[in-house]
Amino acid sequence: MKSSLVMFVFALFLFSCTKEEKKEAVNVQQLNQQFIGAWNSRNSAQLDTLLAEDAHFVQGEVHYSGRSEVSQKWVRETMGTIENLKIFPVSSGADENIAFEGGTFTVDVIPSDRQLPRGEGEGNFLLLWKKNDKGAWKLHYAQLEDHPVQVKQ
């Protein structure tokens, strides 16, 4: 009986050592909602923590690289000009190291001259997240394709 118990414990130990741990994919919708929530609340400090060190932002001919440049030239310079950012995902995917979501977006555009009417912007987006060396999910790549801004009715 004692030897059977020892064999059982030994077999259990071997099984637990060789059993590959199943890694689960991240919920990319939750990552994007963190980003959208921080953007809409104008929390640039939180947005900085969500950006990868090697982040990229692409919009037409514009391409910013690195957290510092993306944070300064996209986040901080754009944040005061739009509000009420909403995304409407069309496609998404994720595994244990990378996640993406793409679709369309809408924003309210704030004119630089308060005498001008507000605008409505829309376009297409792609957000790609990667897990960094510390296991934290960071926004690695953001691409926007804007349509011309329309006067808000």
Average pLDDT, the chain: 86
The CA distance from 66 to 129, in Å, is 14
Band the pLDDT of 47: cuts 50, 70, 90.
Answer: very high
pLDDT at 71 over 50: yes
pLDDT at residue 23, as a whole number: 65
CB 94 within 8 A of CB 31: no
pLDDT at residue 34, as a whole number: 96
Can you give the pTM of this predicted structure?
0.80
The CA distance from 38 to 48, in Å, is 10
Band the pLDDT of 8: cuts 50, 70, 90.
Answer: very low
Architecture per CATH, domain 24-151, reads as Roll (3.10)
Half-sphere exposure for 142 (CA within 13 Å, toward CB): 23
Q: Take residue 115 and report the two structure tokens written for it.
A: 């005498």
Average pLDDT over residues 85-98: 95
CB 87 within 8 A of CB 112: no
Q: Take residue 55 and report the two structure tokens written for it.
A: 């982040």
pLDDT at residue 116, as a whole number: 87
Q: How many residues are present in the chain?
A: 153
Residue pLDDT, tens place only, 32-46: 999 999 999 999 999
Closest C-alpha among 107, 103, 101 to residue 137:
101
The CA distance from 51 to 67, in Å, is 6
User: What values do phi and psi take at 16, rounded to 5?
Assistant: -70, -30
pLDDT at 4 over 70: no
Using CA atoms of 98, 47, 61, 128 in order, give the dihedral in degrees to the nearest 10: 10
Instruction: Spell out the domain ranges in the chain.
Output: 24-151
